[in-house]
Amino acid sequence: MPDAFTIDISDGIAVIRFDLPGEKVNKLTTGVVAELEQLIGRLESESGIDGAVIVSGKEDNFIAGADISEIETIVSPAEGARLSEQGQGVLERLEQLPFPVVAAINGACLGGGLELALACNYRLATDSPKTVLGLPETSLGIIPGFGGTQRLPRLVGIKEALRMITTGAKVYPKKAWRIGLVNDVAAKERLMEAAGRFISSHGETGKKTKKTSWKSRGLVALLFESNKFGRNFLFDKARQAVRRKVGDHYPAPFAAIDAIEDGFKHGLKEGFASEAHLLGEMAVTDTSKNLIKVFRLRERFSHVEKAPAGYISSVAVIGAGAMGGAIAALVAENGMKVRLVDMSTKALGKALRAVYSTVEKKKNKGIYSSTDAAWIPSRISCDTMMRGLKRTDVVIEAVVESMDVKRSVLADLAAATREDTIIVSNTSSLSISEMAGAVPDAWRVAGMHFFNPVDRMQLVEVVRGEKTSDLTVRIVTALTKRLGKMPIVVKDSPGFLVNRLLLPYLNEAARLLEDGVGVEPVDEAMLEFGMPMGAFILLDVVGLDIASHVCENLQQGFGERMRPSTILAAMRDEGRLGKKSGKGFYRYDKKGKRQSDSGLKKVLLPHVRDNLKLEEQSIIDRLILPMINEAALALEEAVVEGPEAVDAAMIFGAGFPAFTGGLLRYADSLGIPRVVKDLEKLTELHGERFKPSGLLIEMAQNAKSFYSL
């Protein structure tokens, strides 16, 4: 391969440019690390160099990290440790060069990229919103392995380093400067000029890297980080925080804490050795292998075909409620003009205030510059009437979830837009094909099911109606990607995919209550399984009115197996709508804090038919196996193309535990014969809703798995 690095020495400054051939982003492959070592050897012997600047040749990318493919193929702890030690050795030589080295960072500086930057004496970052720094290795089930667990806490302090490493959090330039991660922030166009000045102005201090002051770290650092008792307290608190958040399903954050602690207890050399050893151990865990598969899912479904030239330059959103306002804000934040239409000026005003508030918060966090923060709201124009839409490329309808209302709105939009304007409905369960009947050119109608909250949930289900054209699907998926979301194309079918799988899970939880299993045992079992929240906590968040409505729609589409538990309707009728009403399966105070509710027993009592006692695994099986079965039925009906789409949708849209690799990878790990056998047993005990699908039975008979179909 051509060289990844080029070097230009002028006026005593060596400019090292990293531009990995044939790749969109820079990665630290084994070959790149070997080439970097050769380059460092040349710099060690070169005379007349006063300083060096490392810069990227890629647009908006410094270094994305290590090569995931190489991590994926590690089969033994010893191999993982060896690769870590090699990288550590090369970066240690970089750190020991006899002149100051500056990392000039524009764009993503993540994982091994940040570890390389940490081995430099100084770091400069651009003020671009695309410039982010972080060590996200724990999201892949491993830990930083090129010295990150040792250098980062010594630069920014133990507390901040623990937060960054255990959560994989990304830091934007403003905060990076505030915590001492970067030494200065410059405009993108001035980055190299600033780097040259920085070397010149620090000529007297030379190799001495500026450390973060105790004052900038705060009183906590002064009290805790300067003595072993305080450090022990910080490490213990970090372990407690990780355990509260993810339980014991993700070993990598705990391993990272161990590596950091070893470095402070036994010195830097021992810390590097501990880091390499622990990386090797983490790289071969099932958790790491599954999380890398999830990373591949994100890559696959985030890469979509671009829209034809001329499309998606302008967007309109109809409906300024919570969802519509959030969608309009998302469009504006991603650089497009958006027209927000609602009959209510009050709703429009509320939506605009929410945009200003969100942008201001992101500006304060350093995500947006003052200029960006001013431009984003200016991209939104408001109106109380459907006018001026002839110039709009895509219109997203986000009104109330009622078929009659949506059909009426779509009919009005058909008249108010151009004949080639794409019309999209944001709906969680209503038929796109039925809606499209109100539009003469039904080929241009599709669905976009955004998940709530819009700004945080990655998934968008792109719904193809019976007459939706390939061009329309291409444009809508391209728009979804441009909004920073992950599109999964689904066939128009009741509940689409995520709700079709998730609502039976929630409905079965309610049926467990009918059998006398309590709220807390069910939620505790699902939290132990790895779900982000218990089934009843989730029902309270979704809202019992919404859950009941979707379950009723699913019953209309699929019959008796989707019959809602009577408890859901009873809760709704009692005004127990969940968190938004202050009470559901739990009671909530004014701050939204959850607590048990003794009054729930009175609502449930008429519906409880048994006093069943179930072990934790039995609860898990009864809730998860129906989701697997429903996923198999959805694949039979070609609702989505394959198991990868199911797993991506459930992880990024429903929070299914990523460490399992996804719902269907979890099914494969159980073994399909066991899944079928357990479903048959549940069918005998509880009825036909558990009857295994034809696909599952066929797979069990032919020793197939979802990922071998």
Indicate which residues carry an active-site annotation.
461
Burial 371-383 (b: 16+ CB within 10 A, else e): ebbeebbebbebe
Q: Could you give the CA distance from residue 86 to residue 80 in angstroms, rounded to a whole number?
A: 10
Whether 417 and 392 have beta carbons less than 8 Å apart is answered as yes
Q: Could you give the CA distance from residue 497 to residue 55 in angstroms, rounded to a whole number?
A: 44
Q: Could you give the CA distance from residue 155 to residue 497 in angstroms, rounded to a whole number?
A: 46
Q: Could you give the CA distance from residue 551 to residue 430 in angstroms, rounded to a whole number?
A: 12
3-state secondary structure (DSSP) of residue 658: helix
Strands 170-171 and 132-134: antiparallel
* Cα angle 451-457-461, degrees, rounded to a multiple of 5: 50
3-state secondary structure (DSSP) of residue 583: strand
| 560: DSSP letter | G
Whether 103 and 95 have beta carbons less than 8 Å apart is answered as no
Residues 6+ apart with CB under 8 A from 673: 700
Which tokens hold the place of 689? 């809703």
Q: Could you give the CA distance from residue 396 to residue 327 in angstroms, rounded to a whole number?
A: 9
Which tokens hold the place of 601? 């027993």
CA torsion through residues 123, 129, 131, 137, sign: positive
Q: Which ranges of 218-285 does DSSP label H, i.e. alpha helix?
A: 219-220, 228-246, 252-266, 268-283
Whether 108 and 130 have beta carbons less than 8 Å apart is answered as yes
| 334: DSSP letter | T
Radius of gyration of the chain (CA): 28
3-state secondary structure (DSSP) of residue 6: strand
Q: Could you give the CA distance from residue 197 to residue 55 in angstroms, rounded to a whole number?
A: 15
